[in-house]
Structure 1
Amino acid sequence: MTATAASPIILRTTGVSKMFGKFVALNNISAEFERGVITSIIGPNGAGKSTYFNLLSGAFRPTTGKVEFEGHDVTNVAQHRFAHLGIAKSFQITNIFPHLTVHENVRVGLQAFVSRYDIWRPRSTVPGLAERADELLALVGLKDRRARRARDLAHGEQRALEIGMALAADPRLLLLDEPTAGMSPEETRVMMDLIVRLASERTVILVEHKMKLVMGISRRVLVLHHGELLAQGTPAEVRQNEQVKRVYLGQREH
């Protein structure tokens, strides 16, 4: 079935593989991602999670296979077009403007989507940008930090700010790569609560290595191992999968 805006499937990969020289990073992965839910991609280090994320976000093109978003083939679409299609992403390495204020960071993200036809008018003067920036900061829990320099935020707050910047595109699909990387347990809980709130209005796909945490917030889970799709299903189904148990046997869960 072809995915459309009304379809329960928002994103699909069909037989995608990725090779770097002779190294097979991903091998023949076919998966469907449901609209309006949280799907987590997990697996041990080196499983291919980040490579798969890069394929989903347009940063990499598959060596073979196809990626579809809302029924449209986006396999060869340039990465910078993804935001205009309705896909936003937040990478594992925080990507903010450290010398700008928190509010200015989000406003810059909003300005990128203002019409460019009025070339004589500074985008920063377009009505509503400041107000919308405040709305996004409130959504990610940073409105009371709006005047601080981004560099002065705690690590977890910087990750939340980056997500706020990604939301400036008003995406229907939000991709998050290791959103809790480097966070304290308290920061991790705050981030997970934020992801759940965000998923009430959009589809969220996240790559994570903290298996116990994602099991609590995800409706579906994909498990990668050695570049292949080992298992997929509900958290309960994945938790009971014998192959998944063997892969994680003896590994310390975070």
Structure 2
Amino acid sequence: MSDIILATQGVSKYFGKFLALNDVSVSFERGKLSAIIGPNGAGKSTYFNVLSGAFPPSQGTLTYDGRDITGLPQHEFARIGIAKSFQITNVFPKLTAFENVRVAVQARHVRFGLWRPRQAYEEVNQRAHELLALVGLVQHAERPAQDMAHGEQRALEMGMALAAEPKLLLLDEPTAGMSPEETRTMMDLIQRLAGDRTVILVEHKMKLVMGICERIVVLHHGELLADGTPAEVQNNADVKRVYLGQGRSGSHAAA
């Protein structure tokens, strides 16, 4: 089995005549916690959308687990083992935390039918409780999602994503809008989840990811600026220049 779980080769993305990503080639190793970072307008969100299947690349290829998945319909990504959590929280606000996760588990494990054995539903309920425990929300199982704090809603969304039992978890700005305490809790959760699966997160907070990630990919103006360990990236002259505000000239890529 290859050590590479996800890779882009020569990926570019145009929106009309606007070039948002330019020839990005990156390989993500299996079982590692990696981060994609960069200043505002670096192309991070566009790249995330390519990795998660929301945007097909205009040029280049996307490979998962040794298989070319370029242009694969987005709904197929969960089936092959890729789950994602977007920057905007996506939960059912009027359902409880337990009900939200149970719906996600049912979507994977139960097919429509009139004659389902009771045991099948008990297994769904049990798995929902296990996922709530995994993301630290057991005590909030009966609370409506709309009554939960922002950080708790993000953890709930992550629990829903894990219902697909993914090999790869993609997280877009998982700490966006969080307080410092919520941010610390979320980063602890991400580290725990990374113990059992590959995790790739997109962040604009460089200092935040340096302490927990094994690998950092830096984008700038839609191009790959740096790629390496946190120490290598921190000592990279181009990265220092960009984060000191001395950006390159030229057209800016989408965030």
Same fold (TM over 0.5): yes
The 5-angstrom pairing of residues 2-81 of structure 1 reads 6-81=1-76
The 5-angstrom pairing of residues 1-254 of structure 1 reads 6-116=1-111, 119-121=113-115, 126-250=121-245
Are the equivalent residues in 2 in contact too, given 1:111–1:123 (CA < 8 A)?
no
Partner of 1:24: helix, strand, or coil? Answer: strand
List alignment gaps of at least 5 residues for structure 2.
Answer: 247-255
Are the equivalent residues in 2 in contact too, given 1:42–1:209 (CA < 8 A)?
yes
What TM-score do you get using the length of structure 1 for normalisation?
Answer: 0.94
Within 2, Cα distance between the matches of 1:119 and 1:20? 43
Q: Give 1:129's aligned amino acid.
A: V
Deviations 1:115-147 (CA, angstroms, capped at 9, x unpaired): 42x621469962311111010000000000000
Are the equivalent residues in 2 in contact too, given 1:44–1:225 (CA < 8 A)?
yes
Q: Give 1:113's aligned amino acid.
A: R
Partner of 1:197: helix, strand, or coil? Answer: helix
Within 2, Cα distance between the matches of 1:121 and 1:208? 46
Deviation at 1:102, TM superposition (A): 0.3
Between Structure 1 and Structure 2, how many residues are aligned? Answer: 245
Partner of 1:112: helix, strand, or coil? Answer: helix
Are the equivalent residues in 2 in contact too, given 1:114–1:123 (CA < 8 A)?
no
Are the equivalent residues in 1 in contact too, given 2:191–2:212 (CA < 8 A)?
yes
Within 1, Cα distance between the matches of 2:116 and 2:219? 46
Deviation at 1:76, TM superposition (A): 1.3
Partner of 2:201: helix, strand, or coil? Answer: strand
- Residues 218/9 of structure 1: CA separation in 2 closer, same or farther (3 Å cut): same
Within 2, Cα distance between the matches of 1:94 and 1:123? 34
Q: Which has the higher contact order (CA 8 A, sep 6+)?
A: 2
List alignment gaps of at least 5 residues for structure 1.
Answer: 1-5
Within 2, Cα distance between the matches of 1:123 and 1:151? 32
Partner of 1:166: helix, strand, or coil? Answer: helix
Q: Which moved more, 1:122-131 or 1:14-23?
A: 122-131
Partner of 1:218: helix, strand, or coil? Answer: coil
Within 2, Cα distance between the matches of 1:198 and 1:17? 30
Determine what percentage of the aligned residue pairs are the same residue. Answer: 68
Q: CA RMSD in A?
A: 1.4
Are the equivalent residues in 2 in contact too, given 1:178–1:207 (CA < 8 A)?
yes
Are the equivalent residues in 1 in contact too, given 2:109–2:124 (CA < 8 A)?
no
Partner of 1:53: helix, strand, or coil? Answer: helix
What TM-score do you get using the length of structure 2 for normalisation?
Answer: 0.94
Deviation at 1:85, TM superposition (A): 0.3
Q: Give 2:100's aligned amino acid.
A: N
Deviations 1:14-59 (CA, angstroms, capped at 9, x unpaired): 0000000010000000000011111000000010000000000000
Within 1, Cα distance between the matches of 2:115 and 2:46? 40
Within 2, Cα distance between the matches of 1:233 and 1:122? 50
